[in-house]
Amino acid sequence: MSVVATLRVEKAGPLALLQDGGRFGVRHLGITQGGPMDWHAAGWANALLGNDPGAAVLEVAIGGLRLVAEAELTLSLCGADLSASVNGQQLRPWQRFTLRAGDRLAFGMPRCGVRAYLGGCGGWRGVPALGSVACVGREGFGGHKGDGLPLDDGDQLQPEVRSQPLPSYSYVPPEYQPDYGQPAALGVIPGGQTAFFDGASLYEAFNAPWQVDTRADRMGIRLLGPELVCHHPGMVSEGLAAGAIQVPPDGQPICLMNDRQTIGGYPRLGTLTPLARARLAQCQTGETVRLRATGIERARHEYFGAQKAIGSFQGQKTCAAGRG
């Protein structure tokens, strides 16, 4: 009998979560979407294995995770450089690689970026809730056990398929790899209550530097900078899209991310573009970012361009994956 291809969690680290494309069609129930904070890096992790774009990946935040292969596995790693290594040898992100039985994959301190994405052939198995295995702790949904909890010591991960055709490329071409070491310029589509902010606030919002606050998680990322003033006479709570930028009474923006609440009553400066949201998810505490106003058509063009690049790998299948 062949050995089941699994990864055993030797050390869980602070936050390693199973995330697929997300949970949709349920916001009217007060349930948020979840999914990978950096959909772009997660998409490439799946593309390198020939997976569906929304297949489940392991989102590793900060580092500290240590995994042991119990049989041969072909995997992919994209996103942040978290000082990953295999048996003590450095492993760079944005590539496909193979672990043999007994190999140890470890993640250390972040060198650049915050979140890395580990893909398995066909995606990782989890327990779905409302059509998704996306792990959302607040709601207790999804994840590898279906309880919305991150990986724990002794847990096991298993890919959905043991072998499948792989793309001819084993790495993401350099021109498609984001440089998380460069200052982040985040595209914002004005909207919501933009017109109710005073002129000085709008000028500062799109010309002054902002700093990523320590209060940053999968629900929202706060920015510190000039105080923004909104003169809206009063708001009724309304639905919140991913990337919505709320401004509470202290004037410091909150960029709402994948695990955000579904409605809110603070005025919105606008909404981050999909690529800007992915980029912000890789910004470390204290990092400086700038907001740049953009239009819907440009944001749409950039988004579909990124999706097209990722999707182009899906048709470049060649050899089979590891024996598993």
Helix (H, G, I), strand (E, B) or coil at 296: helix
Please name the residues in contact with 38: beta carbons below 8 A apart, sequence gap of 6 or more. 79, 115, 117, 278, 279, 281, 282
Listed residue (266, 148, 149) closest to 197, CA to CA: 266
Helix (H, G, I), strand (E, B) or coil at 312: helix
Q: What is the DSSP letter of 42?
A: H
Please name the residues in contact with 194: beta carbons below 8 A apart, sequence gap of 6 or more. 202, 268, 269, 270
Please name the residues in contact with 213: beta carbons below 8 A apart, sequence gap of 6 or more. 221, 222, 223, 224, 252, 285
Distance CA 308, CA 299 (A): 14
Distance CA 152, CA 279 (A): 28
Please name the residues in contact with 245: beta carbons below 8 A apart, sequence gap of 6 or more. 188, 253, 254, 255, 256, 268, 269, 270, 271, 272
Distance CA 115, CA 219 (A): 15
Integer angstrom CA distances of residue 310 from 54, 165, 232, 275: 12, 17, 41, 13
Q: What token pair was written down for 283?
A: 């910004």
Exposure string (b/e) for 19-49, b if CB count within 10 Å is 16 or more?
Answer: bbbbbeebeeeebbbbbbbbbbbbbbbbbbb
Greater pLDDT, 271 or 160: 271
For range 80-109, the mean pLDDT: 97
Ranked by mean pLDDT, the top range of 13-27, 274-288, 310-324 is: 274-288
Distance CA 130, CA 141 (A): 9
Integer angstrom CA distances of residue 215 from 108, 221, 223, 254, 285: 22, 6, 9, 9, 9
Distance CA 38, CA 262 (A): 19
Q: pLDDT tens for residues 34-82?
A: 999 999 999 999 999 999 999 999 999 998 999 999 999 999 999 999 9
The amino acid occupying position 162 is: R
Q: How confident is the model at residue 315 (pLDDT cuts 50, 70, 90)?
A: low
| pLDDT at 2 > cutoff 90 | no
φ, ψ of residue 304 to 5 degrees: the values are -65, -30
Q: pLDDT tens for residues 267-286?
A: 999 999 999 999 999 999 99
φ, ψ of residue 183 to 5 degrees: the values are -55, 140
For range 179-197, the mean pLDDT: 95
pLDDT at position 312, please?
83
Greater pLDDT, 138 or 275: 275
| pLDDT at 3 > cutoff 60 | no
Read off the pTM: 0.94
Please name the residues in contact with 312: beta carbons below 8 A apart, sequence gap of 6 or more. none
Q: Which domains does the chain have, with CATH numbers?
A: 7-178+308-320 (no CATH), 184-293 (2.40.100.10)
CB-based contact 298:306 (threshold 8 Å): no
Neighbours of 233 (CB within 10 A): 5
pLDDT at position 317, please?
55
Q: What token pair was written down for 298?
A: 């440009």
Write down the mean pLDDT value for the chain.
Answer: 92
